[in-house]
Structure 1
Amino acid sequence: MNQHFLSPVKEAVLAHLVTQSFSCLGKKIRIHSKQEGFPDLENVQLAIFGVEEDRNSENNFGCGEDLQFIRNKLYQLFPGNWQTEIADLGNVPKGNSVTDTYFAVSELITYLLRKNIIPIIIGGGQDITYVNYRAYDSLEQTVNITAVDSRFDLGNLEDDLTSQSYLSKVIMQEPSNLFNYSNVGYQTYFNAQEEIELLDNLFFDSYRLGKAKELENIEPAFRNADIVSIDIGAIRQSEAPANNNASPNGFYGEEICAISRYAGISDKVTSFGIYEYNSKYDNNHQTANLIAQMIWYFIEGVNFRVKDYPFSGKENYQKFTVLMENDDPLIFYKSNKTGRWWIEINILSDNKYKRHALIPCTFKDYTEATKQIIPERWYKAMRKML
């Protein structure tokens, strides 16, 4: 990896860290500093880096700046009972062109993925989600994206790539490695009915804000994700004012922290991004504080990953077969470790979708199947594989 892609963490952040408790999180992180240079990534499991790119962020110019406020708040938190090694790689500066920044971010994420290090991306517009997705091309696998956002950000395919049109690029541009997209927390009045129908016709998952606030409904969307992308605009303005597109409605702080923990605890999630933070609207650094806590909960989740995916050993799960009147039986698995549920999708062993042979689901999906109601998750997954 070209370390010149990254600028070190600001000296002011490190000076602030000196005044903090010896047991705070910042003193456990390997930090890229001007004095110490680039950190050793041996045994590192999580790597934080910022993106100073705002040129393609719609109506939120400045969202790549002042990431030191997030770091100040994060570093002074106290870690949980964690074993995870964490590094802070600094920031990817604005390139001469947006394309230059995208190239640097993509190269960095690809490098980290190959080293089995989970990137935690802060700052920049949500268009970086598309760059994150493209970084998986070299892994030659299908990818699931879960976005926490009040808008779908579809745009038109002919539009330039922006924070509000990146999804059409993910869906349509080659190579097309997307298997599933889930939106969590969309608000209907921000999305055209045609877009809502399009997502449904593509057999993607979308959860309106009211349904998403019942958090058990959305946990499977994170257990099934490779990439989790959070737009700060999905959080209500009173909780997170640092976004020029903020809205009175959205998730509360404790809800978005629970969501971040869901993302961390998922065995499948391999990258996590929080976008559209704009410090010039941030009263008393409130949003920086919330983002720091979201990162804390993500790290907490990663520390408590239990690798309870079925087939790891029959003693670790229970198998339930539900006989359907007019169809093949549905097979469910329940983890003995966590009580989490999966539903089996019947596919050929050489199918390119074999990593999706088990779809995370809920206990409610199982109980509905026992009433002869086929779970929507199963139906959508099957349709995508045909």
Structure 2
Amino acid sequence: MNLSIFFEPLSEDAFATLNKPRTLGSYISRFVSKFPDWRAADIAILGVNETRGRHSEEAAEEAPEAAQAPARLVRRKLYGLNKGTGRCQVVDLGNLRPGITLEDTHLRLKEIVEVLISHNTIPVIIGGSHDLEYGQYMGYEHLERVVNMVTVDSSVDMTEDTDAAPNKRQLRQILMHEPNYLFSLSQIGYQSYFVEPEVMATFEKMHFEAYRVGEVHRSVQEIEPVVRVADLLTFDVSAIRHQDAPASEPANPFGLTGEEACQLCWYAGLNDNLTSLGIYEYNPALDDRELTAMTVATMIWYFVEGFYHRKNETDFNSRHFTKYAVAFAADNPDRMIFYKSRSSEKWWLEVDPMSPDKGSRIVPCSYEDYLQATKGEVPNRWIMTQARIG
């Protein structure tokens, strides 16, 4: 497939000074005059300068184009960072040409994501409004299997208000999409005063997981298993506090720190199953000192670095794992199976289905889940996963 017809090339003048030795700018092959060989790449960066999703339908028709492309400043910061310790098979495809309508852009993004992940190239999307995650999600439809999605956001974009802007209701679109191939949805970093109680009730009813920003502050390490389960991850810049990322609306004084955002992206890069990353809602018009561009660029740097430290921990019957069977009371024949990687020391949990005609699933967990089981308590992660399996 000729992907180049979907993309606008980058300006050579804008990035010519960023090819210093040992910086990412000298390693990333980018679309200037010749489209890069994305099939040979591990990661493909693409900008999506689509912001109509921030407005209601009526306002979107009148909304002017962004004064600056969101991805441009991020690229300038990213290319200037020193390369990490691993390989760097990364390409920059340029900016996706927006469709005539917002829905057209979603469908274009779907097609691009589908093609890239089919060739084992991970798309890293720099947006653009958060509703673009709907296009990112639709790119998994061809897999004909269920997928796990994780989103980092200060609010839960699942309102029933049909007059709301598209970037406030895309999760509802995902839930209602046919065919339905969403197995799990986890939300990280939400703040209760931004979320309607009815929305959280829906989350609980569907056995989805949600973690407040305070839980991330308390222990970002305990959030790692949540990220490790994801096939795709989306990140709304407004989840980061204003001090570290001021270029988003509304301003958020109590969000994640920039360091926590980078830590989550590092976990995402390490995740053997994750095949796409989208970072949305960066507004360059609000980034006077380019602080947010630097934060987003650093997040991508950590994701790339994490990717090149993946350990391919997927064969739980291999000698690289230690298996633990935790028995309950003497009169209870049930037991819980855990796996621990001898290399990374990460933990997984085997969950049996309630229905005998369905297979078990092995899901990421934490050492705390294992300790809880040794005390005779069933971890909440086990309960939630079994409820989704059925």
The CA deviation at 1:198 is 1.7
Cα pair distance change 1:208/1:327, threshold 3 Å: farther
8 Å CA contact 2:106, 2:135 repeated in 1: yes
Task: Provide the C-alpha distance between the structure 2 equivalents of 1:91 and 1:118, rounded to a whole number of angstroms.
Answer: 16
TM-score (norm 2): 0.92
Among candidates 331, 349, 359, match of residue 337 of structure 2: 331
Deviates more, 1:365-374 or 1:157-166: 157-166
Q: Show structure 1 runs of 5+ residues with no match.
A: none
Between 211-220 and 95-104, the greater mean CA deviation after superposition: 95-104
**Greater CA deviation, 200-209 or 304-313?**
304-313
The answer on whether the counterparts of 1:63 and 1:125 sit within 8 Å (CA) in structure 2 is no
**Alignment pair present for 1:12 and 2:18:** no
Alignment match, 1:40: 37
Matches within 5 A, 1:22-101: 22-33=21-32, 35=33, 37-58=34-55, 62=66, 65-101=69-105
Q: Classify the secondary structure of the residue corresponding to 2:168.
A: coil
| 2:47/2:70 contact within 8 Å kept | no
Q: d(CA) in 2 for partners of 1:69 and 1:154? A: 30
In 1, the alpha carbon distance for the partners of 2:333 and 2:229 equals 25
* Match among 129, 144, 151 for residue 147 of structure 1: 151
Query: C-alpha displacement at 1:200, in angstroms?
Result: 1.5
Which of the numbers 108, 121, 144 marks the counterpart of 2:125? 121
- For residues 1-386 of structure 1, what are the structure 2 equivalents within 5 Å? 1=1, 2-17=3-18, 20-33=19-32, 35=33, 37-58=34-55, 62=66, 65-156=69-160, 162-213=166-217, 214-311=219-316, 313=318, 315-325=319-329, 326=332, 328-347=334-353, 351=358, 357-386=361-390
For residues 28 and 189 of structure 2, what CA distance do their matches in structure 1 show? 32
Query: How far 1:10 sits from its partner (Å)?
Result: 2.3
Residue 164 of structure 1 deviates from its aligned partner by 1.0
CA 1:173–1:31 in structure 2 vs 1: closer, same or farther (change >3 Å)?
same
State the secondary structure of the residue aligned to 1:220. Answer: helix
CA 1:38–1:148 in structure 2 vs 1: closer, same or farther (change >3 Å)?
same
Q: Secondary structure at the match of 1:127?
A: helix
- Partner deviation per Cα, 1:56-79 (whole Å, 9 max, x = no partner): 125897498242111110001111
Q: Letter of the aligned partner of 1:271 in structure 2?
A: S
Structure 2 vs 1, CA of residues 159 and 288 (structure 1 numbering), >3 Å: closer, same or farther? same
Percent pairwise identity: 37
8 Å CA contact 1:123–1:275 kept in 2: the answer is yes
User: C-alpha deviations, 1:73-131, integer Å up to 9, x for none?
Assistant: 00011111111300000001222211221222111111101100000000111111111
Q: Output the amino acid matched with 1:21.
A: K
Contact 1:228 1:273 in 2 (8 A): yes
Residue identity matched to 2:302? Y
Question: What one-letter code is carried by the residue in structure 1 that aligns with 2:22?
Answer: S
Contact kept? 1:147, 1:229, Cα under 8 Å: yes
> Which has the larger displacement, 359-368 or 188-197?
188-197
Q: For each residue in 1:277-336, what CA deviation from the matched residue of structure 2 results, as whole angstroms up to 9, or x when unmatched? A: 0001013111001111000000000000001234251x1111111112356211111110
* Distance in 2 (alpha carbons) for counterparts of 1:244 and 1:63: 16
Report if aligned partners of 1:64, 1:124 keep a CA contact under 8 Å in 2.
no
Q: 1:185 to 1:223 in 2, by over 3 A?
A: same
Counterpart of 1:109 in structure 2: which amino acid?
Answer: V
The 3-state SS of whatever aligns with 1:95 is: coil
Q: Summarize the Cα distance change of 1:79–1:312 in structure 2 as closer, same or farther, 3 Å threshold.
A: farther
Tell me, in whole angstroms, the C-alpha distance in 2 between the residues paired with 1:181 and 1:9.
Answer: 35
Distance 1:102 1:32 in 2: 22
Distance in 1 between residues matched to 2:168 and 2:14, nearest whole Å: 32
Q: Is the 8 A contact 2:316 2:339 kept in 1?
A: no
Tell me the secondary structure at the aligned position of residue 112 of structure 2.
helix
Secondary structure of the residue aligned to 2:235 is: strand
Post-superposition, which runs of at least 4 consecutive aligned residues in structure 1 deviate over 3 A?
Answer: 58-64, 157-161, 347-351
Q: Which amino acid in the other structure matches residue 15 of structure 1? A: A
Q: Distance in 2 between matches of 1:153 and 1:116?
A: 29
Deviation at 1:169, TM superposition (A): 1.2
CA distance in 2, matches of 1:103, 1:11: 29
Quick one: structure 1 residues 247 and 11, their matched pair in 2 at CA, closer, same or farther if it must change by over 3 Å?
same
The AA in structure 2 aligned to 1:115 is H
Task: Tell me if structure 1 keeps the 8 A contact 2:228–2:268.
Answer: yes
Q: Secondary structure at the match of 1:337?
A: coil
Residue-pair matches, total? 378
Q: Give 3-state SS (helix, strand or coil) of 1:284's partner.
A: coil
Runs of at least 5 residues in structure 2 that lack an aligned partner in the other structure: none
159 and 334 in structure 1: CA distance in 2 versus 1, 3 angstrom threshold? farther
